Amino acid sequence: MLWITRFSAFFSAAMAVIILSPSLQSFPPAAAIRSSHPDRSLISSFRKSPAFRNAEECLSSAADSNVCNPSLVHVAITLDVVYLRGSIAAVNSILQHSLCPENVFFHFIVSETNLESLVRSTFQELRFKVYYFAPETVRGLISSSVRQALEQPLNYARNYLAELLEDCVNRVIYLDSDLIVVDDIAKLWKTGLGPRIIGAPEYCHANFTKYFTGGFWSEERFSGTFRGRSPCYFNTGVMVIDLKRWRGGGYTRRIEKWMEIQRTERIYDLGSLPPFLLVFAGHVAPIPHRWNQHGLGGDNVRGSCRDLHPGPVSLLHWSGSGKPWLRLDSKRPCPLDALWTPYDLYRHSH
């Protein structure tokens, strides 16, 4: 539990920085990244990551760079210019806390083609592959949501990991772009799923009914899908997925069918989450809450500051509308945003 002690000390130091230094370092606005279209301009926006090497006790996989190498830990993250700063910080945090960082293979899902060279320049020895996700795949299935960011096609790429990744990749950890990992990702990778398709931290105290409209609950043909299940809310930003079982059960199509119903019946309001709840809630392998301390971005409208949930922390997740890099840019950070800054590789202006 040494890492918890170190994290607690780091958290205390970070809080001191916030309290003692109200004029925390201001960063160039995210718009600067968003407007950087050519590869060279994007590459110059980020510093090179610190070096990372496997510990002596790691099973070496350096000689085998094949994505099918069974000793690899597979992590999928989306990359786009709007959330790029968050994605880079997430990758950096995983590498810095991994006992065997050279054994982690990253699968980057993109809808733009100018980001691979940036990753290669920032993480020079990283094992990764870039996969193109065509927005047209889901554009006709997306309905309006409470927040425009939730309507972006790339937000739905997690539905298609079984089709995008190689058939030899039988398991993957999916992570959102607005989080940092402060523990060894291999611990999450080893989570037992039993007969389940996905694993995620569940929150059974949450009001599950609010994720669907009154019309959904009043129609037996819709609400009946939960009959015989004990559904709980789970956040789709952190999931361990059995891709082999997913492919065998045709789960991508099951999600798409609910999205098609939503287009005509309006059974929910919240982006890509409800279809996952409809298909998987009540059939999720529970993962300890320490692996998704979510909600740090506040709600979907105001993005207000929030505290950590009680208990140990392995992953901090700024789900909600408030993102740490944007709040830091605006010189209005929340206290916990200081925990994100050590992993930020964006070049700061002085």
What are the residues facing 127 on neighbouring strands? 105
pLDDT in tens, 37-96: 435 667 788 999 988 999 998 976 655 679 999 999 999 999 999 999 999 999 999 999
What pLDDT score does 139 carry? 86
- Pick the closest to residue 180 from 57, 271, 30, 297 (CA basis): 297
Whether 308 has a pLDDT exceeding 60, the answer reads yes
The larger pLDDT score, comparing residue 50 to residue 167, is at: 167
Assess whether pLDDT exceeds 80 at residue 280: yes
* 122-147 per-position pLDDT tens digit: 998 999 999 999 999 998 898 765 44
Calculate mean pLDDT across residues 296-316. 85
Using alpha carbons, list the distances in angstroms from residue 152 to 36, 129, 139, 148, 265: 19, 22, 9, 7, 21
Cα 17 to chain centroid distance, Å, stands at 27
Confidence (pLDDT) at 146: 46
What's the pLDDT score for residue 80? 92
Return the closest-CA partner of residue 182 out of 102, 246, 254, 96: 96
pLDDT > 80? residue 18: no
Residue 43: per-residue pLDDT? 74
Residue 191: both structure tokens together: 């989570």
pLDDT band at 9 (very low <50, low <70, confident <90, very high): very low
Alpha-carbon gap, residue 117 to 265, rounded angstroms: 43
Return the sign of the alpha-carbon dihedral for residues 110, 111, 116, 117: negative
Q: Which residue has the tokens 């739905």?
A: 156
Q: Is the confidence at residue 215, as pLDDT, over 90?
A: yes
pLDDT, tens digit, for every residue of 283-292? 999 999 999 9
What is the average per-residue pLDDT within 316-344?
94
pLDDT computed for residue 291 by the predictor:
98
As a whole number of angstroms, the distance between CA 217 and CA 165 comes to 36
- The pLDDT of 277-305, averaged and rounded, is 90
Name the pTM for this structure: 0.87
Say if residue 337's pLDDT is above 90.
Answer: yes
Distance CA 219, CA 118 (A): 49
- Two structure tokens written together for 158: 């997690």
Domains recognised in the chain with CATH numbers: 68-343 (3.90.550.10)
Q: How far apart are CA 212 and CA 270, in angstroms?
A: 8
- Nearest to residue 150, comparing CAs of 319, 334, 325? 319
Nearest to 252 by CA among 136, 173, 157: 157
Identify whether the C-beta of residue 225 lies closer than 8 Å to the C-beta of residue 278. yes
pLDDT-derived band of residue 350, with 50, 70 and 90 as boundaries?
very low
Dihedral angle, C-alpha 320, 321, 324, 330, nearest 10 °: -160
The rounded distance, in Å, linking the Cα atoms of 8 and 162 is: 38
Least confident interval from 81-85, 170-174, 267-271: 267-271
Strand partners, 198: 241
**Radius of gyration of the CA atoms of the chain, in A:** 20
Q: Taking residues 155-171, what's their average pLDDT?
A: 97
Tell me the per-residue pLDDT of 180-193, one tens digit each, with 9 for 90 and over: 999 999 999 999 99
Burial of residue 43 (CB within 10 Å: 0-12, 13-18, 19+) is middle
- Report residue 302's pLDDT band, with 50, 70 and 90 as the boundaries: low
> Residue 9 is encoded by which pair of tokens?
């000390």
